[in-house]
Amino acid sequence: MRTRNGAVRTLATAAVAVLLAAGCTARSGPGDDGRGTEREPSPSSSASGTARSSHASVLAVKIDNVRAARPQTGLDAADVVYVEPVEGGLSRLMAIYATELPDQVGPVRSARESDLELLRQFDEPTLAFSGAQRKLLPLIDEAPLRAEPPADGDAAASDAYARDAGRPAPHNLYLHPGRLMSEAPGADALTTGFRYGPAPAGGAAESSHTVRYPAARFTFTWSQSRDSWLVAMDGEPAVTPDGRRLAPATVVVQHVDVRMSDFHDSRGSFTPYVETVGTGRAEVLRDGRAHEATWQRPSAEDGTAFRSAEDGTPVNFADGQVWVVFAQAR
Per residue in 183-233, pLDDT (tens digit) is 999 999 999 999 999 999 999 999 999 999 999 999 999 999 999 999 999
Mark which of 137, 172, 189 sits at the end of a domain.
Answer: 189
Residue 138 domain-assigned (yes or no): yes
What does 93-161 look like in DSSP terms, one character per residue? Answer: EEEEESS---S-BB-B----HHHHHHHTTSSS-EEE-S-B-TTTHHHHHHSSSEEEPPGGG-GGG-TTE
Residue 261 domain-assigned (yes or no): yes
Name the residue range of residue 179's domain: 26-37+53-189
Do 183 and 205 sit in the same domain of this protein?
A: no
Do 12 and 82 sit in the same domain of this protein?
A: no
H or E stretch including 19?
helix 14-21
Return the sign of the alpha-carbon dihedral for residues 146, 54, 191, 210: positive
Q: What is the pLDDT of residue 222?
A: 98
Mean pLDDT check: name the lowest of 11-25, 181-195, 251-265: 11-25
Mean pLDDT of 172-184: 95
Other beta carbons less than 10 A from residue 130's beta carbon: 25
- Amino acid found at 171: H
The domain tally of the chain equals 2
Residue 228 domain-assigned (yes or no): yes
98-to-58, 188, 255 alpha-carbon distances in Å = 5, 8, 25
Mark which of 159, 189, 219 sits at the end of a domain.
Answer: 189
Mean pLDDT of 17-26: 38
CATH number at residue 127: 3.50.90.10
Do 217 and 293 sit in the same domain of this protein?
A: yes
**How far is Cα 84 from Cα 101, in angstroms, rounded to an integer?**
22
pTM over cut 0.85: yes
DSSP-based three-state secondary structure for 286: strand
Do 215 and 164 sit in the same domain of this protein?
A: no
Mark which of 189, 210, 234 sits at the end of a domain.
Answer: 189
